[in-house]
Amino acid sequence: MATGRRMTKLFKSTLFYTGAVALCLPPVFVFVWMILTGLKTGVQNISYPPQFIFSPTLENYRAVFQQYNFFKYLMNSLVVAGLATGVSLLLGLPAAYSIAKYRQGRIGILILVARMTPFVSYLLPWYIIFRYLNLIDTYTALTITHLIITLPMVIWLMISFFESVPAELEDAAKIDGCSGLQSFLIIVLPLVRNGIATSAIISFIFSWNQFLFSLILSGPNTKTVPVAVYNFISYGKIDWAGIGAAATLIVLPVSVFAFFVRKSIVQGLTMGALKD
Amino acid sequence: MKQFLGTISRFIDRRQALVYPAPAIIALFLIVVVPIGYNLYLAFTKWTIGLGDPRFIGVDNFIELFGDERVLNGVKVMVYFSGLSLSIELILGLLIALYFHRQFKGSEIVQAIYIFPFAATPVAVALIWRIMLNPEIGVMNYLLESIGLPGSLWVSSARTVIPALVLVDVWKWTPMITLIVLAGLKSLPHDPYEAARIDGANTLQIFWYITLPLIRPVLIAALMLRSLDNLKEFDIIYTITQGGPGIASETLYLYSYNVGFSFFKAGYGSALMVVVFLIVLVFNVVMNRMRINAQDI
Amino acid sequence: MQKKMTVVLVGVLLCLGLVSPVIAGDIDWMQFKGTEIRFLMNKHPFTSFIEPKVADFERMTGIKVTLEVFPEDQFRNKRMIELNAGGTVDGYMIMPGQAKLHYWKAGWLKPLDAFIADASLTEADWDVKDFFAGPMKGSSIEGKQIGIVINAEASLLSYRRDLFDRFKVKVPETMQELEQAVKFFTGKAVDGIKMVGITLRGKGAAATSQWVDFLYSFGGSWTTAQGKSNLDSPESIAAFKFYGDLLRNYGPQGGTMLHWAESTSIFMEGKAAMIFDANVFKSLYENPKESKVAGKVGYTTIPAGPAGKLPHVSNWSLAISGTSKPDRQKAAWLFVQWATNKENVLGALLAGVPAGRASAWSSAEYKSKDEHPDWTAGSLKSFEIGQPQWNPPVLNVPEIRDITGLVIVDAIEGKDVVQSAKKAAAVMNKKMEL
């Protein structure tokens, strides 16, 4: 009888894990295929049936770095995403704090509306403005444009974190003689450091992945990786092997990064969803 | 000097509600309002980029828009793509979350795997999907055929292009919904479940009468979060189909891009972008209402 | 002894080749030393050829050149947005048949005639008369030269010579023969691959530049003598039908999404017996690293239709921005002149870029190295008989191409072409701007 129950349990858990593996296959497969594509030659990539087993080549990676100067683009992306995230935190933290503390829901909505605007409509005017300010092909211009995505994101994520800070703590600080600014910097911010990490990570990822603004406003000095991956499309030909290698180089750093901080990301996304 | 700083500090303290959000709002204002204002202005003009100055024509663009078949097509495609992808992402995300909502060895690994598609650069993975979905050399048809199913034309046929694009979108975003809902499930109160079990409710009943109502605000919030980007999905469609075959996957947003930048008719293109913005706005306002109502229950 | 002589001779030639632009120069190449210029380039084989050589030009002139390279779609969008804002772009690649009317009216094209005539700016040896007249006419507007041809482009029927030989199939010279040949190969298992007869571009607007050869050869045209859309004439409809049927019945799956890259890769994979596309793609087909059919391809002109053999000839040119500053325009002219000199054009031709200069094609070096005389003959024949007007004669070319492309898609899908063409003609009449 006991064995029977154990068998049922074993059967059930086998069933569960089979299902779990099945549910994890699709996300994994595309990544595997991306990596394989980057390890094949051009001919192998247009062969049918597609090859799963082949002798891999690192030639594409060599080309990506030597011919296409990919390292520079990776650095550009790193700088722009870092700057956009930093500025978003600098501007977004006080704003989110105020919105949470003083229940300025309208301001919150207003900020969200910025994210609803069709991004395509920015391209023409922004180019004209940045040209006028002589900022084309600068980190400044790219950072500013990425703010439109990252700043509302930081603010909206942080509102819920600030709301969870008990008001009593601040009152106590005030009695101890802290100014409002001091209590914000010394008491409140350390309490929401999880939230800051979370929103920094998410905003970094979205900035890293931004394509459209970078396409138009970047130049040879500031081209970011999502734009650079398009370099493998040429006259009458798509270099799938190069794309595979480049895509792996773009996706892997940010995915590995996300992997290590997944707890924060999930928390951030959930806070955003759970808040009222 | 010290006194001066003190004065500033006191001023900031007194006007916290004003001073703290001000830099962010000013920054966004500068970044957003000038271009959007320009865009709104263009929407009421006729202007071919490069040829003279925009000419004010009142609401003519908006009148033209009603007779434009491709606008109608764009709205249809948008509704089809967004409706299908958002509902699949939501339902599938919920179901998978329910599946993983238990203690088991390896839950960490699942979380790790599910974070990958969320973080992946859309343009890069869309290019990989583009070769995977190729009907002649793509691996997707190979996989179908190797398990005895007929191959599909995927994005290469007007009939299947939207479902195929939805597949990519679902692949990219369902994991995120799953993770959100999973966290939401974990934070649900235990009491209603115990009460239900005592009353002898079965699993389905518990799901329908307890879990679903409790998790609804989370679902709607996740939906809002997704719809912000989904309704103006650009990277995936632009990279994989550019709106083809023909105009079978040309969303209104993509059409507005084509009109503005491929056909260089900035005036009419701007009018289309205004419409896209209004659609996103209205959708989100409605969703927000629903969310607030869901919480009141 | 003889061997030693050869080595010496080659050495001398190499030295001459390396320094010749400076020695032979009758203009002062250093006159704009220190100027910085920026060119927007399409990711085209010519760009790949010239990019590594730019350093030579910089050394020779002291001008700093930045080439910004983008794939065609992104390239076009960026070029327009930059020029509209009066950006710092000094020169760019252009397909005059696609954009010259718009760009000319916008003032974005600098007429080059004064530069060409100026003996202090242009070497006598550069020889403007050496360029083919047709493409150079394509690169001019209102009698002014607004671009210098870097690549004359025509479309060729490329076929698997090995298979045509093996199965004793006649290389098609008429549209009927083409249909017979594609029919013969479609569905045939060859070396384990189930073949299709032909692959063509089918992706809407992208297909019109290839379909236009069928349009002309069937006796159709973009517009009537009165300047109205002629897309719904019986001849034009016949061209839509023929092209669409060809791709649907004898082409690969998913014809409506075949852009050039998809189409060429099907041919290079060895799955199609024929491909009709730009002659410049020879360098793709014949590259064994990318293609399984390298060395097995034959080339010929478009088969004759009811109206005869009427291909189009288009070109890519280097243009100088009308919004740039005068001294930079002159520096940009030095660059354009250098990039299109005899040596570079010949070099590009040897790398597979169909040249716009007669001297390159007739040079002894090219003739001795030419591995594909049928490609050379087909290209030259097409240039000779080709129609320079390959796009609708309107200002808003992309929009009209897009409208036309929808009919091609309908034709491939087997829909009612007559109705579709009528509709497109009506829309075209409404939307076309002259």
Q: What is the per-residue DSSP string for C352-396?
A: T---SBHHHHH-HHHHHH-S-HHHHHHHHHHHHH-BS--S-SSS-
pLDDT level of residue A272 (50, 70, 90 thresholds): low
A244 in reach of chain B (CB within 8 A): yes
Best residue of A68, A232, A234 to probe chain C, by most C CBs closer than 10 Å: A234
Beta bridge partners of B45: B56
The mean pLDDT of C339-343, rounded to a whole number, is: 96
Query: What confidence score (pLDDT) does residue B244 get?
Result: 83
How close, in Å, is residue B117 to chain C by CA atoms?
26
Contacts of B242 in chain C (CB under 8 A): 73
Question: Is B296 a residue whose pLDDT tops 80?
Answer: no
Query: What confidence score (pLDDT) does residue B1 get?
Result: 63
pLDDT level of residue C274 (50, 70, 90 thresholds): very high
pLDDT level of residue C11 (50, 70, 90 thresholds): very low
d(C-alpha A202, C-alpha A264), whole Å: 9
d(C-alpha B18, C-alpha A99), whole Å: 10
Selecting from C43, C85, C269 the residue whose C-beta is nearest the C-beta of A235 gives C43
C265 in reach of chain A (CB within 8 A): yes
CA atoms within 13 A on the CB side of C283: 17
Contacts of C410 in chain B (CB under 8 A): 246
Query: What confidence score (pLDDT) does residue A273 get?
Result: 58
User: Per the CB < 8 Å rule, is A235 touching C265?
Assistant: no
* Chains contacting A (3 or more CB pairs within 8 Å): B, C
Strand-pair category, C313-320 with C91-94: antiparallel
A185 in reach of chain B (CB within 8 A): no
A42 in reach of chain C (CB within 8 A): yes
The mean pLDDT of B277-282, rounded to a whole number, is: 90
Question: Is A111 a residue whose pLDDT tops 50?
Answer: yes
Question: Is C386 a residue whose pLDDT tops 80?
Answer: yes
Taking one residue from A and the other from C, the number of pairs with CB-CB distance under 8 angstroms is 78
**What residue of A is the nearest CA neighbor of C67?**
A220
Best residue of B238, B264, B272 to probe chain C, by most C CBs closer than 10 Å: B264
**What residue of B is the nearest CA neighbor of A143?**
B31
Contacts of A123 in chain C (CB under 8 A): 81
ipTM: 0.89
A75 in reach of chain C (CB within 8 A): no
Backbone torsions φ then ψ of A233, nearest 5 degrees: -100, 125
User: Per the CB < 8 Å rule, is A219 touching C72?
Assistant: no
How close, in Å, is residue B249 to chain A by CA atoms?
18
Contacts of B16 in chain A (CB under 8 A): 98, 101-102, 180
Cis peptide leading into residue B245 (ω within 30°): yes
User: Per the CB < 8 Å rule, is A118 touching B129?
Assistant: no
**What residue of C is the nearest CA neighbor of B263?**
C399
Largest Cα separation within chain A, whole Å, is 83
- Give the DSSP H/E element, type plus range, for residue A64: helix A59-66
**What residue of A is the nearest CA neighbor of B255?**
A120
Write out the two tokens for C260: 């050039």
Name the amino acid, one letter, at C263. S
Question: Is A1 a residue whose pLDDT tops 70?
Answer: no
Question: Is C19 a residue whose pLDDT tops 50?
Answer: no
Question: Is B95 a residue whose pLDDT tops 60?
Answer: yes
B147 in reach of chain A (CB within 8 A): no
Selecting from C43, C87, C271 the residue whose C-beta is nearest the C-beta of A231 gives C43
Query: What confidence score (pLDDT) does residue A68 get?
Result: 81
pLDDT level of residue B285 (50, 70, 90 thresholds): confident
A108 in reach of chain B (CB within 8 A): no
The mean pLDDT of A257-275, rounded to a whole number, is: 73
How close, in Å, is residue B156 to chain C by CA atoms?
5
B135 in reach of chain C (CB within 8 A): yes
Query: What confidence score (pLDDT) does residue C296 get?
Result: 96
Query: What confidence score (pLDDT) does residue C15 get?
Result: 46
pLDDT level of residue A35 (50, 70, 90 thresholds): very high
Out of B62-76, B278-292, C317-331, C366-380, pick the least confident: B278-292
User: Per the CB < 8 Å rule, is A136 touching C66?
Assistant: no
User: Per the CB < 8 Å rule, is C284 touching A48?
Assistant: no
Contacts of C253 in chain B (CB under 8 A): 135-136, 153, 156
How close, in Å, is residue C71 to chain A by CA atoms?
5
Which tens digits make up the pLDDT trace of C108-131? 999 999 999 999 999 999 999 999
Selecting from B155, B244, B262 the residue whose C-beta is nearest the C-beta of C398 gives B262
Q: Is C330 exposed, middle or buried (0-12, 13-18, 19+ CB in 10 A)?
A: buried
Selecting from C66, C72, C87 the residue whose C-beta is nearest the C-beta of A220 gives C66
Out of A41-45, B156-160, C294-298, pick the least confident: A41-45
Contacts of B36 in chain A (CB under 8 A): 117, 121
pLDDT level of residue B182 (50, 70, 90 thresholds): confident
User: Per the CB < 8 Å rule, is B265 touching C399?
Assistant: yes
| Closest by CA position to A263, among listed A195, A205, A204, A162 | A195
Best residue of C54, C70, C95 to probe chain A, by most A CBs closer than 10 Å: C70
* Residues within 8 A of C (CB atoms), A 202-241 only: 215-216, 219-220, 230-231, 233-238
Task: Reduce the DSSP state of residue C300 to 3 states and report it.
Answer: strand
Question: Is C264 a residue whose pLDDT tops 80?
Answer: yes
User: Per the CB < 8 Å rule, is C269 touching A46?
Assistant: yes
User: Per the CB < 8 Å rule, is C292 touching A238?
Assistant: no
Cis peptide leading into residue C393 (ω within 30°): no
The mean pLDDT of B259-284, rounded to a whole number, is: 92
User: Per the CB < 8 Å rule, is C81 touching A42?
Assistant: no
Query: What confidence score (pLDDT) does residue C143 get?
Result: 94
Which tens digits make up the pLDDT trace of C319-335? 999 999 999 999 999 99
User: Per the CB < 8 Å rule, is A259 touching B115?
Assistant: yes
pLDDT level of residue C381 (50, 70, 90 thresholds): very high
CA–CA–CA angle C158, C163, C169 (5° rounding): 85
Question: Is C157 a residue whose pLDDT tops 80?
Answer: yes
The mean pLDDT of C237-265, rounded to a whole number, is: 95
Q: Is B131 exposed, middle or buried (0-12, 13-18, 19+ CB in 10 A)?
A: buried
Encode A235-266: b = buried (16+ Cβ within 10 Å), e = exposed: bbbbbbbbbbbbbbbbbbbbbebbeebbebbb
C81 in reach of chain A (CB within 8 A): yes
User: Per the CB < 8 Å rule, is A273 touching B138?
Assistant: no
The mean pLDDT of C214-230, rounded to a whole number, is: 95
d(C-alpha B227, C-alpha C301), whole Å: 51
The mean pLDDT of A148-158, rounded to a whole number, is: 89
The mean pLDDT of B76-99, rounded to a whole number, is: 94
B132 in reach of chain C (CB within 8 A): no
Q: Is C211 exposed, middle or buried (0-12, 13-18, 19+ CB in 10 A)?
A: buried
Out of A36-45, A185-194, C145-154, pick the least confident: A185-194
User: Per the CB < 8 Å rule, is B253 touching A120?
Assistant: yes
Question: What is chain C's mean pLDDT, rounded?
Answer: 92
Beta bridge partners of C38: C66
Alpha helix stretches (DSSP H) within chain B:
2-14, 16-19, 22-28, 34-43, 60-67, 69-100, 107-119, 122-132, 139-146, 161-186, 191-198, 203-206, 212-230, 235-240, 252-257, 266-296
Question: Are C172 and C378 a contacting pair, CB within 8 Å?
Answer: no
User: Per the CB < 8 Å rule, is B119 touching A121?
Assistant: no
User: Per the CB < 8 Å rule, is C80 touching B49?
Assistant: yes
Contacts of B134 in chain C (CB under 8 A): 254, 262
Percent of chain A whose predicted confidence (pLDDT) is above 70:
97
Best residue of B48, B64, B156 to probe chain C, by most C CBs closer than 10 Å: B156
Name the DSSP class of B272.
H
Query: What confidence score (pLDDT) does residue B180 get?
Result: 86
Which tens digits make up the pLDDT trace of B213-222? 888 888 887 8
Query: What confidence score (pLDDT) does residue C5 get?
Result: 47
Best residue of C257, C258, C427 to probe chain B, by most B CBs closer than 10 Å: C257
| Closest by CA position to C216, among listed C334, C371, C74, C391 | C391
Percent of chain B whose predicted confidence (pLDDT) is above 90:
49
Write out the two tokens for C34: 């220190």
Write out the two tokens for C288: 């064994």
Out of A192-206, B61-75, B242-256, C41-55, pick the least confident: A192-206
CA–CA–CA angle C233, C234, C237 (5° rounding): 85
Query: What confidence score (pLDDT) does residue A2 get?
Result: 60
Secondary structure (DSSP) of B19-70: HTTHHHHHHHIIIIIHHHHHHHHHHTEE-BTTSS--EE-TTHHHHHHHH-HH
Name the DSSP class of B241.
T
Encode A82-94: b = buried (16+ Cβ within 10 Å), e = exposed: bbbbebbbebbbb
Query: What confidence score (pLDDT) does residue A276 get?
Result: 44
* Chains contacting C (3 or more CB pairs within 8 Å): A, B
Name the DSSP class of C169.
P
A122 in reach of chain B (CB within 8 A): yes
Out of A259-263, C169-173, C289-293, C317-321, pick the least confident: A259-263
Name the amino acid, one letter, at C363. S
d(C-alpha A194, C-alpha A271), whole Å: 11
Query: What confidence score (pLDDT) does residue C1 get?
Result: 43
How close, in Å, is residue C55 to chain A by CA atoms?
15
